[in-house]
Chains A and B, each alone.
Chain A
Amino acid sequence: MTEALLAALVFLPLLGACLLLLAPSSWRATILLAVTVPLPFCLLPLTLLIADAGLFEMTLAGHPAPLGIRWRLDALSLLILWLNVSLMILVGLAAGARFAPASDVGLRFWPLWLLLAGGIHALLLSADLFNLYVTLELVTLAGIGLIATGGSGAALRAAMRYLLLALMASLLYLLGVGLVYAEAGTLDLYQLGETLEPGLLPATALVLMLAGLLVKSAIFPLHAWLPAAHGNAPGPVSAMLSAIVVKVSLYIIWRLWFWTAGDWQLPAPGLLLGLLGAGAILYGSALALVQKRLKMVVAYSTVAQLGYLMLIFPLSGLLAWQAASYHLIAHGLAKAALFVAAGNILASLGSDRLRRLAGLDQRLPMDVFALALASVSLMGLPPSGGFVGKWLFLRAAYEQNAWGWMALVALGGLLAAAYLFRVLALTCFHPRSHGHSTRLREPPTLASLAGLLLALAAIALGFASAPILALLEAAWPGAMTP
């Protein structure tokens, strides 16, 4: 039964993608609903199972490893699965209003959308390094395809640049996988830890895999592709890319670091990764402050916020692990809300230049409200999911007397406030010298509502932390104790 639920999570979207291409256009909306609606109901029993047992493992179709495929579900995977399914539904609402399933552009968009979802689900379940490679490739290609549906020259160029870098990054990762296999004779993410001893070859392999994955997660200073790609994609696509696509490659890094190399004592490399995160927070925020377009502000904000997810390496410990995972979820929801709202604003105004946004609070109140609420969470102001993440980071840093990291997290919140309040000030309170004369196309109510719901979800995470943190505590490998 549980096997069937896991399979449904992966194969329903993939099946839907195929059906969308084959079925007549009038059926497409029905197919989309039919493959999306069951997903949360698949996750519910799985959540109960994980809360109870903590872990579930299976081999696909009974073929044993190494040639068969092994899946594994734990709390971290489960939470990111929930994030993805929530995003699929809520961002999907916004996308549905923009890309009518029955239209031509709908035919280009929705199969890729489902492919992306199926790929992410498969990635989160995969338990071996090579399957992670395959699924990550699927996610990347689907994501790039979605960027290209934006159609503009800038979007295509950004997609192409992203594609070249991503392909190269995948090759680095694959090279690492090959080396690991040559050394250990197995690719199982969770068993490798036992066979793989620290040494030159495994270290090289780890560095290669990390390098590839850091490019894909757009971690500073390998982030250059992200702002253009996320800033030029259609709103709902940017939402998915920023909220989850960049995170799943980071998820693989976490798995490698804390499970595969969990027993290795790596304080210096951990510190280095943390410094990259610090660079991301400072650099991304600084650039977000000087952007002239709303979506570029949000895209650079992603560069900055991804930096927090790197702090888990130097701080490594239960609190930091909870903090980073919580931040991942809260940022996913808030960032999706921002991009959906920004996409709606762009579609309505025909521009998202900041100086054109003056007085928008009167004209698009729901979108501006979503923008404001999501900003609250991103700044880490209470009560919000972002605040819980920030609080836990600060606690984690405090427990280890890591005053530098503490200052960084506090400063990061201030910088986020600086660039987000700048947007809010221009949007709501600027005297209207510009922009009032331009004609406005009201965004579909459903699209605005989707943004608002996402933002509310990010705020609500500030109140629902106890069960989530308990789940995460159970999933912490505990191998790395400070």
Chain B
Amino acid sequence: MSSTALYVLVAAGLFGIGVYGLIIASHLLRKLFAINIMGNAIFVLMVAASAPLDGRPDAVPQALVLTGIVIAVSATAFALALMVQLYRVTGQASLEEDPTEDD
């Protein structure tokens, strides 16, 4: 099995774990983890796609992945902040509706 295929398999596995976690978990922190795992799966895939054919890796996907990681970090930080605020206001760290609230 080529190393590229291995990477693709790993990516698919990670993506599956992420999707599963996103659907199953109710705590927001877990959902956030799941999304990060999905993101990492995509990064792995993109790095694998840039695997060197002639010994010189393509720089573009590397740059894209780096940027992607930066964005993932900031989005995660933002989500954490939002989660903390949500907990402060509603006392919940999940998205289950409060049945008493009416909109």
Question: Which A residues are closer than 8 A to B by beta carbons?
Answer: 66-67, 130, 134, 137, 141, 144-145, 148, 151-154, 156-157, 159-161, 163-164, 167-168, 171, 174-175, 177-179, 181-182, 187, 228, 231-232, 293, 296
Contacts and interface: CB of A to CB of B under 8 A. Distances in A.
B95 to A, nearest CB: 6
Contacts of B63: 67
A156 B39 contact: no
Given A160-B79, A164-B31, A181-B60, 5 more contacts: A153-B86, A168-B38, A171-B38, A178-B61, A228-B103
27 contacts: A67-B60, A130-B67, A134-B67, A137-B75, A141-B78, A144-B82, A145-B78, A148-B85, A153-B86, A156-B85, A157-B86, A157-B95, A157-B97, A160-B28, A160-B79, A161-B95, A163-B82, A164-B31, A168-B35, A168-B38, A171-B38, A171-B39, A174-B42, A175-B45, A182-B46, A182-B49, A296-B103
Contacts of A177: 64
A163 to B, nearest CB: 6
Nearest to B31: A164
B29 to A, nearest CB: 12
Interface in B9-45: 22, 28, 31-32, 35, 38-39, 42, 45
Contacts of B95: 157, 160-161
B89 A153 contact: yes
Nearest to A131: B67
A178 B90 contact: no
Contact of B22 (A144, A154, A168): A168
Interface residues of B, number: 34
A181 B63 CA distance: 13
B54 interface: no
The prevalent SS among residues of A at the interface is: helix
Nearest to B97: A157
Contacts of A137: 71, 75
A67 B49 contact: no
Nearest to B19: A168
Contact of A156 (B45, B49, B60, B86): B86
B42 A171 contact: yes
Interface in B69-95: 71, 74-75, 78-79, 82-83, 85-86, 89-90, 95
Contacts of A152: 89
A171 B35 contact: yes
B50 to A, nearest CB: 8
B59 interface: yes
A226 to B, nearest CB: 14
Contacts of A161: 95
A192 to B, nearest CB: 14
